[in-house]
Amino acid sequence: MLDGAVPVPAEAADRYRAAGFWTDQTLGSLVRGAAAARPDATALVDAARSLTYTDLDRAADDLAHGFAALGLRRGDRVVVQLPSASELVEVLVALGRSGIVPVLALPAHRRAEVEYFAAHTGAVALVVGGVEAGFDHAALAREVAAAVASVRHVVVGAPPAAHGEQPDAPSPFTAHSLDDLRRADLTAVRGPFEDAAHPADVVLLQLSGGTTGTPKLIPRTHADYLYSVRESARICGLGPGSVYLATLPVAHNYALTSPGVLGVLHAGGTVVLSPHGAPDTAFALVERHRVTHVALVPPLAHVWAASPLVAAYDLSSLEVLQVGGAKLGTSAAERLLDVFGDTLQQVFGMAEGLVCYTRAGDPREVVVGTQGRPISPADEVLVVDDHDEPVPPGHPGHLLTRGPYTIRGYYRAPEHDARAFTADGFYRTGDLVVRDAAGYLTVVGRAKEQINRGGEKIAPAEVENHLRAHPDVLDASVVGEPDEYLGERATARVVARPGTAAPTGPVLRRFLRERGIAAYKIPDRFETVEALATTAVGKVDRAHPAPAPAAAGTEPQ
Ligand code: J2J
């Protein structure tokens, strides 16, 4: 197994194999079955093109040969930051065949995150898009490659304007385009790629929502990941006739696996990739492609339910409208049922593993009021008090879980693991839930230091570290506050260094952007305070707004 990943104990692994949960399937083999069975069926549609299963299968082989020609091998890490388009899927399947391990950066990530992912994993290559939404990812990749010694190659997707230009010589890395990798002149070897990956290998490194100063990476194996994908596809009723509209970033675990793009490819259906989920674009795609399944986060679901365009398009093909990533309130759930009929499915999942779904046929009050029940009969769920003692059904407690697709540890993070997992391997999700007698979970709160901004997760400690780097900032805390649309938004409380004026919101916003953090992590509001509130044990108190004397001033948005 990949050095730095924590294996499942042999006894449990044997059980999962014996039960048929873990099979020999790998990500690379996922598409081969469908390509053989239905070669001309459409696998992927994006704004630029449409690929059959045969096209996708061949593209993955060509790219796998190309990565091999660059000298990349099974177990190597590469940071992948591509937009949600067909190339991302081709690259993931190709890497899945090679056994090369992608770190799935989101399109929103910037220098601080991408550089950290590359350095922490010792990545040998970066695979990135060109200019997307006004941001030059290729230029960012070149900067990161120059700064991180392990990076030898930068591979750029859709050729950027500067494609072919090499950075000022001498350069420690070489630049290529994905088209170079597909081309026969790079490698004489063509045709099917002999899969190098083993089912027990790490298939990819997912990003944790995070609670700490540095993001944590999640090593998932082919066997565990694909078990959750196959079961998710079954639970969500996917088949060859299914059409899934991907409106969320496909690199995110939800849109990739619950059942997401991989679930659809497993089932032999069609994935329609949209750059975003705004009703005008998304509804037109639903109508045109007769979309059956779509995954939303609550803020987007609110926009869909409130959109006057609902009446302007034929949305009658929709069978399953998933909402997950953050808590969906009961009145919002009722409204979705009113507008979209009996299509709502709640999804409560985490990139670390456990995923819960409400099921087709569940009573209305279950679909409205709960976040579903786990995928697997082997998912072990404990709801405990602050001393890890179980609470009775119907009482709130901390959710701990262990099972056939939940990690036993983060990548290269043993100290954090000691806190995030119990001694017997249960993951401490940080979520507060109530479990009913039938095993359905309702999320009632959160004990972890994380802000869930409409499904996008922010680790306050990470943003606070960046704020403290400002020369005029003595201290800072970032807290979540209720927001009608997003569920939560982030507010930064900033203490100025003595003798300096506190930097204003716009100044800090620019400062954070220049530090190279993703835009969604930049606080929505900034407040100046004289000191941060502390708890009885001297830790920063995020639950209470300000100490006495009260806030010294509030910066406008
Ligand atoms: C309340 N909180 C939720 C929900 C996630 C499927 C769906 C979502 C994710 C995901 C995922 C929630 N109600 N319905 O990976 O495969 C919060 C919890 C959880 C954290 C995980 C998937 N659905 N959450 O959101 O790794 O706090 O995964 O622990 O990004 O999101 O975040 P993440």
Residue 425 lies in a domain: no
The secondary structure element, H or E, covering residue 408 is none
| Claim to verify: residue 282 and residue 412 sit in the same structural domain | yes
Q: How far is the CA of 346 from the centre of ligand 1 (A)?
A: 11
In this prediction, residue 172 carries a pLDDT of 82
Rounded Cα distance, 132 and 89, in Å = 17
Residue 346 lies in a domain: yes
Where does the pLDDT of residue 398 fall: very low under 50, low under 70, confident under 90, or very high at 90 and above? very high
What does the DSSP 8-state code read for residue 361? T
Residue 350 lies in a domain: yes
Q: How far is the CA of 298 from the centre of ligand 1 (A)?
A: 11
Residues 6+ apart with CB under 8 A from 505: 525, 526, 555, 556, 557
Rounded Cα distance, 135 and 488, in Å = 27
- Determine the atom of ligand 1 nearest the C-alpha atom of 347: 14
| Claim to verify: residue 270 and residue 370 sit in the same structural domain | yes
- The residue ranking higher by pLDDT, 551 or 54, is 54
| Claim to verify: residue 363 and residue 293 sit in the same structural domain | yes
Residue 2 lies in a domain: no
Residue 7 lies in a domain: no
Residue 211 lies in a domain: no
On the CB side of 387, CA atoms within 13 Å amount to 1
Rounded Cα distance, 29 and 193, in Å = 11
% of the chain with per-residue pLDDT over 70: 94
**What average pLDDT does range 158-169 have in this prediction?**
48
| Claim to verify: residue 264 and residue 365 sit in the same structural domain | yes
| Claim to verify: residue 285 and residue 408 sit in the same structural domain | yes
Identify which of 218, 226, 254 to mutate to test ligand 1's pocket (most ligand atoms within 8 A of the CB). 254
| Claim to verify: residue 462 and residue 496 sit in the same structural domain | yes
* ipTM exceeding cut-off 0.85 for this assembly: yes
Number of domains in the chain: 3
pLDDT digits (tens, 9 = 90+) for 257-296: 999 999 999 999 999 999 899 999 999 999 999 999 999 9
**Sign of the CA dihedral 209, 213, 214, 217?**
negative
Q: Is pLDDT of 550 > 50?
A: no
Kindly report the CATH number assigned to the domain that includes residue 73.
3.40.50.980
Q: Is pLDDT of 127 > 90?
A: yes
Q: Ligand 1 within 6 A of 357 CB?
A: no
User: Residue 186 sits in which domain range?
Assistant: 48-197
Per-residue HEC secondary structure of 252-270 comes to CHHHHHCCHHHHHHHHCCE
| Claim to verify: residue 59 and residue 158 sit in the same structural domain | yes
| Claim to verify: residue 407 and residue 479 sit in the same structural domain | no
User: Reduced to 3 states, what is the DSSP secondary structure of residue 107?
Assistant: coil
pLDDT digits (tens, 9 = 90+) for 467-489: 999 999 999 999 999 999 999 99
Q: Ligand 1 within 6 A of 443 CB?
A: yes
pLDDT digits (tens, 9 = 90+) for 217-237: 999 999 999 999 999 999 999
**Sign of the CA dihedral 199, 202, 203, 206?**
positive
The token pair at 373 is: 């029940």
Q: Which of 132, 162, 197 is the last residue of a domain?
A: 197
Q: Where are the beta strands (DSSP E) in 243-359?
A: 243-246, 270-273, 293-296, 320-324, 344-350, 353-357
Nearest residue (CA) to ligand 1, atom 33: 350
User: Reduced to 3 states, what is the DSSP secondary structure of residue 368?
Assistant: helix
Where does the pLDDT of residue 165 fall: very low under 50, low under 70, confident under 90, or very high at 90 and above? very low
| Claim to verify: residue 305 and residue 180 sit in the same structural domain | no
Q: Is pLDDT of 552 > 80?
A: no
**What average pLDDT does range 308-316 have in this prediction?**
98
Q: Ligand 1 within 6 A of 257 CB?
A: yes
| Claim to verify: residue 308 and residue 168 sit in the same structural domain | no
**Sign of the CA dihedral 183, 186, 191, 192?**
negative
Q: Is pLDDT of 164 > 50?
A: no
- The residue ranking higher by pLDDT, 185 or 557, is 185
Residue 444 lies in a domain: no
Where does the pLDDT of residue 123 fall: very low under 50, low under 70, confident under 90, or very high at 90 and above? very high
Kindly report the CATH number assigned to the domain that includes residue 517.
3.30.300.30
Q: Ligand 1 within 6 A of 325 CB?
A: yes
| Claim to verify: residue 266 and residue 411 sit in the same structural domain | yes
Q: How far is the CA of 325 from the centre of ligand 1 (A)?
A: 4
Q: Ligand 1 within 6 A of 254 CB?
A: yes
| Claim to verify: residue 538 and residue 478 sit in the same structural domain | yes
Where does the pLDDT of residue 160 fall: very low under 50, low under 70, confident under 90, or very high at 90 and above? very low
Per-residue buried b or exposed e for 328-356, using 16+ beta carbons within 10 Å of the residue's own CB: beeebbbbbbebbeebbbbbbbbbbbbbb
In this prediction, residue 162 carries a pLDDT of 41
Residue 411 lies in a domain: yes
In this prediction, residue 546 carries a pLDDT of 56
Nearest residue (CA) to ligand 1, atom 30: 209
pLDDT digits (tens, 9 = 90+) for 57-77: 999 999 999 999 999 999 999
